[in-house]
Amino acid sequence: MRRKAIRCILNLVVQYSESRLDASFAALSDATRRGVLKQLGRADASITELAGRFNMTLTGMKKHVGVLERAGLVTTEKAGRVRTVRVSMHALEEEAAWIERHRRLWSARFDALDHIVEHLQRKEKAHARSKRR
């Protein structure tokens, strides 16, 4: 019974992690949202300031910020009538770790493939030399 509960919890963690990555990569798929993150990397800004910089309506910018916020990439704070947007402290850490894990995996696979190709090339050269004799 305890193993089943642990498996269930681990499954929920994996599902959460995957849905969070899905949300992050979906948010990053839009050029405007990437531009907003780049801008916020320089300094926090209000939604009004962001809308002005990207030449769009407040409603349009609110939607973009909402997508970024749901993905955990930015946080917002309302003070009076102004909603300030800032990059989340942990923005892109999980995404960078996911990319790095896959980069290492593919690098190892390509290294293994290189070794196989080198081995086959040496074998082919040896075979060609033995035929000439």
Whether pLDDT at 8 is above 60: no
**pLDDT tens digit string along 58-93?**
999 999 999 999 999 999 999 899 999 999 888 788
- The class of domain 1-88 in CATH terms is mainly alpha
- The model's confidence at residue 31, banded by pLDDT at 50, 70 and 90, is very high
> What pTM does this model have?
0.68
Residue 13's pLDDT band (cuts 50, 70, 90): very low
Report the pLDDT value the prediction gives residue 1, as an integer from 0 to 100: 55
Q: Closest Cα partner for 33 from 75, 64, 69?
A: 64
Looking from the CA of 15 toward its CB, the CA atoms found within 13 Å total 6
- Report whether 55 contacts 107 (CB < 8 A): no
pLDDT tens across 118-129, in order?
999 988 888 877
